[in-house]
Amino acid sequence: MHPWGKWGRNFVSYGVHAARQALADSDVSWEDVDLVVGGETVRNGYGGYVAGATFAQALGWNGARVATSYAACATGAQALDTARARILAGLSEVALVVGADTTPKGFLAPNAGERWDDPDWLRFRLLGMTNPGYFALYARRRMDLYGATPEDFAAVKVKNARHGLENPNARYRKEVSTEDVLNSAVVSDPLHLLDICATSDGAAAVVLTSMDYARRHGIASPVRVRAISTVTPTFPNTVIDMPLLSTDPANAVPPEQTFKESIGAAAYEEAGIEPGDVSLAEVYDLSTALELDWVEDLALCKRGEAEHLLRAGDTTIGGRIPVNPSGGLACFGEAVPAQALAQVCEVTWQLRGQAAGRQVEDAKVGITANQGLFGHGSSVILST
Rule CB under 8 A: which residues touch other proteins?
106-107, 109-110, 114, 116, 119, 121-130, 133, 136-141, 144-145, 185-191, 235-236, 238, 240, 245-252
Kindly tell me which of 61 and 235 has the beta carbon lying closer to other proteins: 235
223-253 core/surface letters (b: 16 or more CB in 10 A; e: else): bebbbbbbbebeeebebebbbbeeebeeeee
Going by the DSSP 8-state scheme, the letter that residue 15 receives in this structure is H
Supply the minimum distance, in Å, between the C-beta of residue 316 and other proteins: 28
Q: Confirm if 264 and 379 have CB atoms less than 8 A apart.
A: yes
Q: Confirm if 51 and 38 have CB atoms less than 8 A apart.
A: yes
Kindly tell me which of 137 and 219 has the beta carbon lying closer to other proteins: 137
Residue 35's closest CA among 83, 89, 84, 99? 83
Supply the minimum distance, in Å, between the C-beta of residue 106 and other proteins: 7
Kindly tell me which of 13 and 238 has the beta carbon lying closer to other proteins: 238
Kindly tell me which of 202 and 243 has the beta carbon lying closer to other proteins: 243
Kindly tell me which of 61 and 107 has the beta carbon lying closer to other proteins: 107
Residue 369's closest CA among 343, 349, 330? 343
Supply the minimum distance, in Å, between the C-beta of residue 131 and other proteins: 10
Supply the minimum distance, in Å, between the C-beta of residue 240 and other proteins: 5
Neighbours of 356 (CB within 10 A): 10
Q: Confirm if 311 and 303 have CB atoms less than 8 A apart.
A: no
Supply the minimum distance, in Å, between the C-beta of residue 375 and other proteins: 11
Supply the minimum distance, in Å, between the C-beta of residue 189 and other proteins: 5
Kindly tell me which of 7 and 146 has the beta carbon lying closer to other proteins: 146
Residues 61 and 373: their CA atoms lie apart, in Å, by: 33
